[in-house]
Amino acid sequence: MRIALCTGLGVAWLAGTGAVTNPGGAGASPGLAALDSTTLASRLVGKWSGGRYEPGSKMPHQFTMNWMKASDGHLTATVNPAGGTAYETNVVWSSDTGFVTASAPHQSRELSEEVVTRTVSHLKGDSLWGKIEMRPTSYGGRTETGHYTATRQK
């Protein structure tokens, strides 16, 4: 399972680093998916609340997300973990069944170090779910994985 997640994130990372030509056209930022983001944006934009679960845990780490479409066409969100510092994340790959995000480096309260958060997400109606990985920006840090669920706030 971990190999599949890492492989998926690796492919998404390659797509986001420019190994794929800029699919968004001249106005899009390199490394940010503008692939038919209009369809995804119409389903994703708005406020969401949810919980992140560590493997084997039933106690969620609560968070809220506010998704919006940036002026250059890519999808971006502000993620605000309960009791933590808000951080930005962007869609780096999308399809008709899901999307992959990668965050800017931010401080993790749980790991007590700077991390980059990546998700492999699925969207259906007002429900969002997927796998999450917090990877440290330092060599010796600990990676934390899990899953999350979220619902649209009305």
pLDDT digits (tens, 9 = 90+) for 52-89: 998 888 899 999 999 999 888 889 999 999 988 899 99
Domain presence at residue 46: yes
| Partners of residue 66 on adjacent β-strands | 47, 78
pLDDT of residue 111: 85
Number of domains in the chain: 1
pLDDT of residue 141: 82
pLDDT of residue 70: 87
Domain presence at residue 54: yes
* Domain, as residue range, for 100: 2-21+32-152
pLDDT of residue 38: 65
Computed on alpha carbons and rounded to an integer, the radius of gyration of the chain in Å comes to: 15
- CA atoms of 93 and 91, how far apart (whole Å): 6
User: What is each CA distance from 16 to 79, 80, 91, 113, in whole angstroms?
Assistant: 20, 23, 9, 24
Amino acid at 5: L
pLDDT of residue 120: 97
Domain presence at residue 27: no
SS3 81: strand
What is the residue whose two structure tokens read 């800029």? 22
User: What is each CA distance from 46 to 7, 43, 66, 87, 131, in whole angstroms?
Assistant: 29, 9, 6, 16, 20
pLDDT of residue 2: 53
Low-confidence stretches of the chain (pLDDT < 50) are 1, 5-6, 14, 17-36
Domain presence at residue 130: yes
Total-model pTM: 0.73
Domain presence at residue 26: no
Domain presence at residue 8: yes
Domain presence at residue 122: yes
CATH code for the domain of 50: 2.40.128.120
Domain presence at residue 65: yes
pLDDT of residue 12: 52
pLDDT of residue 73: 82
